């Protein structure tokens, strides 16, 4: 019989054949005369026997294990509140700050440049926002789209909020709006089959690029005023 068996002949040894007529598993070859198994060089394997490519993402074990998930729903355990109360933008991956909201990178991005617009206050529902918070959240979302378009040239965007754990919110106690750049072909087999997303840029580098491209508050106000509708003149109504 081709291959080898364990001493009690009950369980196939790792990398060996388990039935009559089966060839040894890829990676081993029986030595002459039935002696010890000699490992083969994987570089010489035909593509048909092992054509899989491996993408190792050990950093995602933090997410899988829930290491950074808040312990409870209080502001003291909330990472968004921590970012809002600390001026260290690099540590918290903050791209920009407004009067009542901030723009922060998603620690586990779906795509490069995945941002979140977050109110400073620890509120969970959209209807709890004040009028000023609602306006600034919308304005920062628009600015985020403009900056991401300039820096990354995506083909489109996903915008949205998940309210409540049942709706998919990872941190349900603190409202946040996602701004996700999209490219053709970015929804390939990795996220669908393996629940893994390959992100080609370090988060710190992404934050630095977007922060450098983010317009000043004065520039945003000027753009906002220039976009305001004007009252028609008598000539317009003539």
**Alpha-carbon gap, residue 223 to 214, rounded angstroms:** 13
Annotation marks residue 114 as catalytic: no
> Distance (Å, rounded) from C-alpha 111 to C-alpha 237?
48
Let me know if 59 is exposed, middle or buried by CB neighbors in 10 A (0-12, 13-18, 19+). Answer: exposed
* Site of tokens 């600390």: 86
pTM over 0.85: no
**pLDDT by residue (tens digit) across 160-218?**
999 888 888 888 899 999 999 998 877 654 554 445 555 667 889 999 999 999 997 65
Summarize pLDDT for 7-33 with one digit per residue, the tens. 344 333 444 433 434 444 444 555 555
Catalytic residue among 4, 114, 174, 176: 176
Q: What is the CATH number of domain 58-220?
A: 3.30.428.10
Burial degree of 75 (CB within 10 A; 0-12, 13-18, 19+)? middle
Non-local CB neighbours of 228 within 8 Å, separated by 6+ positions: none
């Amino acid at each position: 019989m081709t291959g080898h068996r364990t001493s009690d002949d009950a369980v196939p040894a790792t990398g060996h054949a388990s039935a009559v007529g089966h060839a040894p598993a890829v990676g081993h070859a029986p030595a002459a005369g039935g002696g010890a198994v000699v490992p083969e060089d994987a570089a010489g394997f035909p593509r048909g026997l092992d054509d899989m490519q491996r993408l190792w993402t050990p950093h995602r074990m933090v997410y899988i294990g829930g290491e950074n998930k808040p312990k409870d729903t209080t502001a003291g355990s909330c990472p968004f509140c921590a970012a809002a109360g600390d001026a260290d933008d690099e540590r918290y991956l903050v791209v920009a700050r407004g009067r009542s909201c901030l723009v922060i990178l998603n620690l586990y991005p779906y795509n490069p440049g995945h941002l979140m617009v977050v109110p400073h206050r620890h509120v969970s529902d959209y209807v709890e926002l004040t009028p000023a918070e609602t306006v600034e959240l919308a304005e920062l979302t628009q600015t985020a789209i403009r900056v991401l378009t300039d820096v990354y040239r995506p083909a489109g965007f996903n915008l949205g909020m998940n309210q409540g754990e049942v709706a998919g919110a990872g941190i349900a106690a603190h409202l946040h709006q996602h701004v996700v750049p999209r490219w053709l072909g970015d929804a390939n087999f990795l996220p669908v089959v393996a629940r893994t997303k390959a992100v080609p840029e370090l988060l710190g580098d992404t934050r630095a690029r977007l922060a450098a491209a983010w317009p000043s508050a004065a520039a945003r106000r000027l753009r906002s005023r220039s976009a305001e509708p004007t009252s028609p003149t008598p000539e317009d109504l003539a």
